[in-house]
Amino acid sequence: MSPSTTTRNNEKSAQIFERALTLLPGGVSSPVRAFGAVGGTPPVITSAEGAYVHDVDGNRFLDFVGSWGPLITGHAHADVVAAIQAAVARGTTFGAPTPNEVELAARVTDAYPGLEKVRFTSSGTEATMSAIRVARGFTGRDLLVKFAGCYHGHADHLLVQAGSGLVTFGAPSSAGVPAAFTEKTLVIDLDDEQGLEALFAEHGAEIAAVIIEPIPANNGLLVQRREFLQRVREITREHGALLIFDEVINGFRVARGGAAELFGITPDLATFGKVIGGGLPVGAFGGSAEVMDILAPLGPVYQAGTLSGNPVAMAAGLATLDLLEKGEGWAQLEKLGAELEALLTPILESAPIPARLVRVGSIFWVSWQAGDPPRRADAIDCKAADYYRQIFHGLLEQGVAIAPSAYEVGFLSLAHTSEHLATFAEALRKTLATLTV
């Protein structure tokens, strides 16, 4: 179904979005929301509850985007809302130490392997940017290694693509980023021990840190082999570089101790966002006391934030973690994930195009190509994007919202039920049955 043949009433959304286009670049506050990859007008959302979002035209969508990951308890969970309301009533920000930030810090350090101290930020971008600064300050080295296909926020030196050749210094992937800003960032492929070893053989003594999403979830879901992650752990240790796990998506989602717990691999630094903010703007980064105490005011690495550790945001995070911990949330999410997998697998197997479900706990993605799901970014077949447009709109027409890009993952929440999953599966079956290939 093409975007122009929508049967749903989207008159008000279209009007507001038209106005948005004159006032906000692309009509949005973050690019992928603009539906650039799938076409059409995005529904303009006014409210959400549990597993559903509602738009200005009165349409209701069963939501598998979850605001791109934070809403692990679902939209507007009563406990999270109550915690936020109570915190707001006490004041929105103090610019001073608060009990909530100490409590959330205790919860994060208790949950995550090797973590002794954390610092809160207001976004995941700030968390990764700051963790890298800490690694550089701690090691006294400049080079950063990242993997093609991993996203770590939009700091200048992270908006980088691999140059040509096996071991290359990065080139900016965004206008407005001077080449000089990315020349200390080396980009290599995931799932490639040899590339990693070649890089360290050449530059090992200058590498401050390797940053990786241990379960890369920003370019499809590129599930890594444990042996590869283990090799990344070993080689960084051998060369005195720090290993940073970017757990902004994975943290408190795939397990209480994030991907580190799942793989049994402990990084030197970890970054968080999304789930720990319970839907409010929170990021965090942490490590051992020895590493983290290099931060101001104790040490020479500067990092700060007017709204960092915001008491309302901390309250939302704490309420979210409470729900996950008390309700055995991670076991419940795994159960839902397994159920979704069982429902979707036969539907995808009989689809008119090759398709395979990839899933880690409550994170899922469909690999629209033949063979084993890809483990690295350049193994993804770009043709999928053409089909995806039809699939996305086919689902939206039936009231099911998935991410408006073939490269973005889906998220389950504690608000999803077996019925919701069955609705999704049936909508997908119908959509694939009418796919034009």
- Residues catalogued as catalytic: 151, 246, 274
State in angstroms the smallest separation of the CB of 68 from ligand PMP: 6
**For ligand PMP, which residue has the nearest CB?**
124
State in angstroms the smallest separation of the CB of 174 from ligand PMP: 14
Pick between residue 344 and residue 406 the one whose CB is nearest to ligand PMP: 406
Pick between residue 200 and residue 285 the one whose CB is nearest to ligand PMP: 285
Cβ-based neighbours of 356, under 8 Å, separated by 6 or more: 348, 366, 367, 369, 372, 373
How far is the C-alpha of 174 from the C-alpha of 91, rounded, in Å? 39
Query: Strand pairing partners for 360?
Result: 363
DSSP annotation string for 2-63: -GGG--S--HHHHHHHHHHHHHSGGGSSSGGGG-TTT-SPPPPEEEEEBTEEEETTS-EEEE
b/e code 3-17 from CB counts within 10 Å (16+ = b): beeeebebebbbebb
CA 239 to chain centre: 29
How far is the C-alpha of 129 from the C-alpha of 171, rounded, in Å? 18
Pick between residue 68 and residue 169 the one whose CB is nearest to ligand PMP: 68
Pick between residue 348 and residue 403 the one whose CB is nearest to ligand PMP: 403
Pick between residue 392 and residue 407 the one whose CB is nearest to ligand PMP: 407
State in angstroms the smallest separation of the CB of 298 from ligand PMP: 26
Q: Where are the beta strands (DSSP E) in 164-297?
A: 168-169, 171-172, 185-188, 207-212, 242-246, 269-272, 283-287
State in angstroms the smallest separation of the CB of 306 from ligand PMP: 16
State in angstroms the smallest separation of the CB of 10 from ligand PMP: 27
Structure tokens of 295? 């931060």
The residues of the shown chain that bind ligand PMP, judged by CB under 6 A, are: 68, 123-125, 128, 151-153, 213, 218, 246, 248-249, 273, 283
User: What DSSP state is assigned to residue 223?
Assistant: P
